[in-house]
A and B are shown apart, each in its own frame.
Chain A
Amino acid sequence: MKRYILFFLSFVLLFALSGLVVGQSKGELLIKNATVMTATRGTLQATDILIRDSEIVRIGKGLTAGSGAKVIDATGKYVTPGIIDAHSHSMLSAINEGALSVTSMTRTRDMLDPSDIAIYRALAGGVTTALLLHGSANPIGGQSTTVKFKWGRPVEDYPIAGAPASIKFALGENVKRASFTPQPGQTVRYPRTRMGTMETIRDAFRRARDYKQAWDDYRAKKTKVPPRTDEELQPLVEILEGNRIVHCHGYRSDEHLNVLRMAEEFGFKVGTLQHGLEAYKIAPEIARHGAGVSIFTDSWSYKLEAYDAIPYNAYILWKNGVNVSINSDSDERMRRLNLDAAKVMKYGGVPEEDALKMITINPAKQLGIDKRTGSVEQGKDADLVIWTGHPFSAFSRPDVTMIEGEIFFDRAVDAQKRTEMAKEREGLEKLDVNKAPGTGGTPPRIPAERRRGERDEAEFVIDGGNR
């Protein structure tokens, strides 16, 4: 008996020890002497941040960490919350299901590609979190995924556990296939007008109501035969019940007003109006509904419905009390969202902290993850960027980008990895399987992105499909 107890005790001890080891390995991290732009509680000079087990545990002066803690001296450097991009299509193997007008059954979660180099480049630009949206080919598009860019981790580590479900809606030119000429033998997809678009959305919600009714009846044992589990209508029921956020792509203010009214008619609230280049025209109406707006600061005129834009859009919305975020909708622009935020200080004079909010806590609220991330606050996830200088300066760059206390981008490590990878490449290129057969032949032409003068056009064709 004694022996059993001893055996048991040794097990308990073993577990306790291993717990200790795990705790230590995740460890403490202390950022010393930084200028901390908290996004919610002002800018703190010469301040330390103590991180333990993925959380910010203390913010203050003269903090100390336990032995074995990693210490980063951030003297002369700035710390901000990790940037959040509320409109991205990065790391998706497919973006648009264009065959139907309602594609709420599709899930961007199925399409995540953790090998997309855009993830790493985003980290190098200080982005830690993004909303990965379906494209804008349909009045009701697919289900979106809220991810943290945990580069190098398996795909299942990317989606944020507990982040609210959401979905893409879209209005306007892309949806009515304005720049789409059907070829002979190809079917023309309904809707072809803006009024048809609204009808399509209303019809889908009516079907969703009937579907919900059928399940309610079945669960109340009023019917005997179980209804279908409908991948298309189930997400719409979740919207009606307030359990799925709608992110609605649109340009014209009349259309965005229409969708707000339609939502009120069906008894739900639109989460964000995406793009909203004319949102400044209806700022009070948007504020009254309670929707957020996610915009570009100064990108417009790339298509007809994108002409009536002004750079004061963010300022006017902010002045009216609307939650505004600045997004990228582009792998390339995502890397410098800090500068897009800086521009709203120039156009109209949004205060510095409110400008920073537009790429941090504001999008966090729009995505429903502001309890965990979006600001430098005690108790929140340590999603932080250490900048070489003020983040709104064109001369500043992220030195370190971390998610939940783990460093996913480090400029010094990056430089070292480049050398390692060059060496690896040299070795791999010597292998037989990687040698070209010696048959000559005409080499492929230089890729378009490296040919002078053709870059912008090619990019527009690809990007313009979703904007």
Chain B
Amino acid sequence: MKLRLSLIALAAIGSVFSLSGFSQSYSITNARIVTVSGATIEKGTVVIRDGLIEAVGADVKAPADAQVFDGTGLTVYPGFIDALTNLGLAAPARRTTPTGPGGGQAAAAAALAAAPSSNSTYPAGLRPEEVTLDDVRAGDAQFEANRNAGFTAALTTGRTGIFNGQSALISLSGDSVASMTVKSPVALHITFNTIPGTYPGSLLGTFSALRQMFNDARRHDQLLKMYAANPRGMKRPDADKSLEALIPALNRQIPVVFTANLENEIVRALDLAKEYNLRTIIAGGQEAGKFADRLKAQDAAVILSLNFPKRTAAASPDADPESLQTLRLRAETPKTAGKLAAAGVKFAFQGGGATSVNDFLANTVKATENGLSKDAAVRAMTLGAAEIFGVGDRLGSVEAGKIANLTVVKGDLFGTQKTITHVFIDGKPFEPKPIPRTEGPGGRGPRAGGPVSTALPDVGGTYSINIQAPGQALTGTLTLVQQGGTLTGTMVTELGTSPLKDGRVTAEGMSFGGSVVFGGQAIDFTVRATVTGNQMSGTVDSPQGAIPITGTKNP
């Protein structure tokens, strides 16, 4: 009792003094330490000082000034890294609800116009110079759910456009963006999107536009060098920041991350990367296992999504059976990590927009049940990710001198009974709240991420929906899973199954995006709707226009 009081006193003094540069030290003693970079220490001590790991070992003693955490029965891992997120970024700006015919186009044009002002000669969406870090907000609260699940750092990038922004690796704690930043820029991110209302308006154009920009950037690099060598008699090259931003990628100074899940996307990404000799990372990679040898040959890494596909909607006896391709994909996806590991492809894990951050660990376990070794799984969440992002020398393992990002687990990480007891981020301890049990799909109520604000409407559930598309009314099923202010789920209509993207619930209503394939083209849509009682009504917004959607919640 006395000891504990004095510790608290010490900690209190410590926190006061830390403001004036007092050295802050913690020790985790008697713990099992999975260093990842070396052998696991069955019983040892980790000493943390000033945000770094000062010492690790079986014989290391806790320094006198350290706050001591008794690690008996606990395992210390390098802090988990979510290798692709949108963390720290504001939710997508809410567009005004369009009215009347053509509202969708007008709104799309307005959204483009409302994009951050830039004097780039390229349209919003084709601006590789945009740096994600510029949009990241500081503050600990926003990362609470992720820390509770054991995460200490994340790669974050924008959501929209063909160029999604140059990503940043951030600590999931910090009072300023400057102090949170581990590395920026990490990579250039490309998603094979289109730009509504302008060129490229189709996937065909997306590839041609990228090719032209890479061609122009290569020439720009050449012109800049010529001009630097001898400006006389040569018209000065344009100060084109968009092209300039591509030069480091062409020179292999930074990698290019391509969002690519399915076979066609992965092949197209690898082909384009080969054409321009880019350092390649595939993000998503559901079918990457089929191309393990090619990925290895091209020295491409994978940021593998742990959001494994599963059937989310009930079918009726009248519905077409699902394609064999879909059924196979769901069965095969959990095997991807094992295949990549066997082929020696570098890979890391990302949550992939899963319903709950807790799915990350649950599906990591599933990967280990499908051919991935547990050691390789831990590596993918720690040092593997750090190495892909070029920070393996300072992050990702429990070694003296490295950043003190640690995740402390009670119980078997790969078992069913496990608790994240502490995380350390840049040497700062956090004690996660107990994680409530995850409910099944359609379940409601607070999850990891804190209590749901009472001001938010409760919209979760399954709806029978009706979309008044011109010429053909579409019917279907909308499954919404609400988790605080975020919304996930699927929309199933005659046009297929669309997983929901960027789902949000606010006091005024809800919004989510998705895409359907029609006539061979992917069409992105956004739905904005309100729920009153068991009735839902709103608007579906797409390049084809704005059309009403109504729905009734199934009891």
- Residues of chain A touching chain B, judged by Cβ–Cβ distance below 8 Å, are 89, 92-100, 103, 105-108, 110-115, 134, 142, 154-155, 183-187, 224-226, 228-232, 421, 424-425, 428-429, 431-448, 450, 458, 461-462, 465
Contacts and interface: CB of A to CB of B under 8 A. Distances in A.
B494 to A, nearest CB: 6
B519 interface: yes
Contact of A97 (B208, B310, B314, B462): B208
A103 B235 CA distance: 30
B120 interface: no
Interface string B415-449: 00000000000000000000000001110000000
Contacts of B219: 226, 228-229
Contacts of A187: 197
Given A184-B102, A224-B233, A441-B554, A92 B464 contact: no
A428 B200 contact: no
Given A100-B199, A434-B330, A437-B314, A226 B205 contact: no
A89 to B, nearest CB: 8
A443 B202 contact: no
A111 B204 CA distance: 7
B519 A444 contact: no
Given A107-B207, A115-B325, A445 B313 contact: no
Interface stretch (B253-261, B262-270, B297-305, B344-352): B262-270
Nearest to B233: A224
B184 to A, nearest CB: 31
Nearest to B474: A445
Nearest to B471: A461
Contacts of B223: 225-226
Contacts of A225: 223, 226, 234-235
B264 A443 contact: no
A424 B324 contact: yes
Given A107-B204, A183-B105, A431 B330 contact: yes
A443 B200 contact: no
A98 B202 CA distance: 8
Contacts of B296: none
Contacts of A458: 472
Give the interface centre of A97, A433, A442 by most chain B CB atoms within 10 Å: A442
B311 A142 contact: no
B493 interface: yes
A229 B212 CA distance: 8
Contacts of B198: 99
A436 B314 contact: yes
B267 A228 contact: no
Contacts of B212: 105, 230-232
A106 B205 contact: yes
Contacts of B441: 437, 439
Given A115-B264, A441-B313, A441-B314, A96 B202 contact: yes
B4 interface: no
Contacts of B521: 94-96
B216 A228 contact: yes
A186 B475 contact: no
Given A94-B520, A424-B324, A444-B494, A155 B267 contact: yes
B222 A226 contact: yes
6 contacts: A99-B205, A105-B211, A115-B263, A425-B327, A428-B330, A436-B314
Nearest to B312: A437
A434 B334 CA distance: 13
B318 interface: yes
B330 A433 contact: yes
B12 interface: no
B319 interface: yes
B204 A96 contact: yes
B519 A462 contact: yes
Interface in B313-348: 313-322, 324-325, 327-328, 330-331
Given A99-B199, A228-B216, 18 more contacts: A94-B204, A97-B202, A97-B204, A105-B209, A105-B212, A106-B205, A142-B208, A186-B109, A226-B222, A231-B211, A424-B324, A428-B327, A431-B330, A437-B314, A442-B477, A445-B318, A445-B475, A446-B319
B248 interface: no
B292 to A, nearest CB: 14
B208 A437 contact: no
Contacts of B389: none
Q: Report whether over half of chain A's contact residues are helix, strand or loop; otherwise say mixed.
A: loop
B464 to A, nearest CB: 4
Nearest to B330: A433
A1 B378 CA distance: 53
Contacts of B218: 229
A224 B316 CA distance: 69
B114 to A, nearest CB: 14
Contacts of A96: 202, 204, 521
Nearest to B334: A433
Interface in B213-249: 215-216, 218-219, 222-223, 226, 233-235
A434 to B, nearest CB: 5
A25 to B, nearest CB: 21
B201 A97 contact: yes
B234 to A, nearest CB: 7
A106 B208 contact: yes
A308 B209 CA distance: 39
Nearest to B465: A442
B163 interface: no
Contact of B102 (A105, A183, A431, A442): A183
B139 interface: no
B215 to A, nearest CB: 4
Contacts of B472: 448, 458
Interface centre among B208, B308, B310, B322 (most CB of A within 10 A): B208
A110 B105 CA distance: 28
A342 to B, nearest CB: 30
A433 B234 CA distance: 63
- List the 7 closest pairs (A to B, CB-CB), nearest first: A443-B316, A183-B102, A99-B201, A442-B464, A185-B106, A99-B199, A105-B208
Contacts of A461: 471
A151 B237 CA distance: 49
Contacts of B308: 433
A95 B275 CA distance: 22
Contact of B234 (A92, A224, A434): A224
Contact of A93 (B203, B271, B313): B203
B392 interface: no
A187 B223 CA distance: 35
B450 interface: no
Contacts of A142: 204, 208
Nearest to B477: A441
B492 interface: yes
Given A108-B204, A155-B267, A439-B442, A429 B327 contact: yes
A229 B215 contact: yes
A232 B215 CA distance: 12
Contacts of A447: 319-320, 494
B264 A440 contact: no
A326 to B, nearest CB: 24
Given A96-B204, A115-B263, A433-B331, A440 B324 contact: no
Contacts of A462: 519
Contacts of B226: 224-225
A438 B440 CA distance: 10
A106 B310 CA distance: 35
B396 interface: no
Nearest to A112: B264
